[in-house]
Amino acid sequence: MDRLLSVQEVAHRLGTGVRFPRRLVEERRITFVKVGRHVRIPESAVEAFVSANTVEPVVLRPMGLGRAA
């Protein structure tokens, strides 16, 4: 079973304030669990969110090599 993280723990892992993970929960952009009045976010949901929003760098070719003038 996944470890359930508090909103504060998620904010710390993402390097953000607590408002950001709270907004993700409110907008249903991340999986979460309600434990009574408490909101908990599975570790795998945080990892999936980061993976889904990771932008890979663009590999540029050097200019002028192999081109005919």
Task: Please give the average per-residue pLDDT across 15-35, as a whole number.
Answer: 97
Rg of the chain's alpha carbons, rounded to an integer? 19
Residue reference for tokens 């434990």:
35
The C-alpha atoms of residue 61 and residue 41 are separated, in whole angstroms, by 41
Domain range for 29: 4-52
The per-residue pLDDT of the chain, averaged, comes to 93
DSSP label of 62: P
Give the predicted TM-score (pTM) of the model. Answer: 0.80
Residue 45 lies in a domain: yes
Residue 60 lies in a domain: no
Q: Within 13 A of 52's CA, how many CA atoms are on the CB side?
A: 8
Residue 22 lies in a domain: yes
Residue 23: is its pLDDT beyond 70?
Answer: yes
Task: Please give the average per-residue pLDDT across 27-32, as a whole number.
Answer: 98
Residue reference for tokens 């079973």:
1
**Tally of domains in the chain:** 1
Residue 23 lies in a domain: yes
Residue 65 lies in a domain: no
Residue 29 lies in a domain: yes
The C-alpha atoms of residue 39 and residue 49 are separated, in whole angstroms, by 17
